[in-house]
Amino acid sequence: MRRILARAVAVVTATALLSAASARADGVIPLPMEGSVRLAPIRAADPFGGPAHTFATYRSTLTIGARTLAVQCIKSLRIDGHQLGTIDPATGAFVPTTLEQAVADGMADNCGGGLPMTWIAVPARPGPIVTLDGGWFGPGITAVAIRDDGRWKPLPFTADGAFLVALPGGWAPEANDPMGLPMLPLVRVTASLCGPHARRDLLDVGDTTRTGACTLVSYWPARPQLTARAQRRRARRHRR
């Protein structure tokens, strides 16, 4: 079950995004560009008491046929205090590493052509399954919250709109998952439509609604009952 989950849950929502898992299957490895690796200043508590979860980002290129695409990549990592590391999938031991070593193999959780990106991953580990639910939206984000027991619970996020939460068990990004997994809890991202970091681009991405003269909210995953309506709304905007 864990092996199936680990291969099945890389997801992105930006236009022309490519799954790193699919890229690897095609023999294409998105190696980091020199000087582009960054550690996100965010920590997500492990639901089973292990080292906190974080992630690194880096720029890369993917060559598909005759095309070479510039991409942004994400790789989930663990951090214990100030020490970055990974978890040995066989023993569960924390293995210290450096940021450069952690991403050197190009085995990213996800790569995409641009922001925003949303993604889920199931880190290899013995014992209970944990699903990472993350996003990287860029500047202009003013709030992030996750739906928990019928209420919106605030999530920490970075200045460039990154967030991460570690959920116990296996989860799917869509309803009616063929493996019977529950759908991810909704995450609500609020962004500004005014000022130097206005995010009007988000109006054409996923399940996004304008909520005021200068605000919008974007939901991840897209709410199933509103997906068709959101698509019709975007189509009307493009016809104007």
For residues 179 and 119, what is the distance between their CA atoms, to the nearest angstrom?
19
Q: What is the pLDDT of residue 225?
A: 64
Are the beta carbons of 52 and 84 closer than 8 angstroms? Answer: no
SS3 102: helix
CA–CA distances in Å: residue 62 to residues 17, 57, 71, 108, 119? 11, 15, 7, 12, 18
Residues of the domain holding 37:
2-239
Q: What is the pLDDT of residue 28?
A: 65
Counting the structural domains of the chain, the total is: 1
- Write down the pTM of the prediction: 0.79
Which residue in 202, 207, 32 sits closest to 114, CA to CA?
Answer: 202
The DSSP result for 52-64, as a single string, is EEEEEEEEEEEEE
CA–CA distances in Å: residue 75 to residues 94, 192, 198, 218? 17, 28, 28, 23
CA torsion through residues 224, 163, 124, 121, sign: positive
**DSSP E strands, 150-225:** 151-154, 162-168, 187-192, 207-212, 215-220
Q: What is the pLDDT of residue 39?
A: 95
Q: What is the pLDDT of residue 233?
A: 59
Are the beta carbons of 187 and 145 closer than 8 angstroms? Answer: yes
Q: Name the residue type at position 148.
A: D
Tens digit of pLDDT per residue, the chain (240 long)?
Answer: 333 333 333 333 333 334 444 444 454 678 888 899 999 999 999 999 999 999 999 998 877 777 888 889 999 999 999 999 999 999 999 999 999 999 998 888 988 888 899 999 998 888 899 999 999 999 999 999 999 989 999 999 999 999 999 999 999 988 888 889 999 999 999 999 999 999 999 999 889 999 999 999 999 998 876 555 555 555 555 444
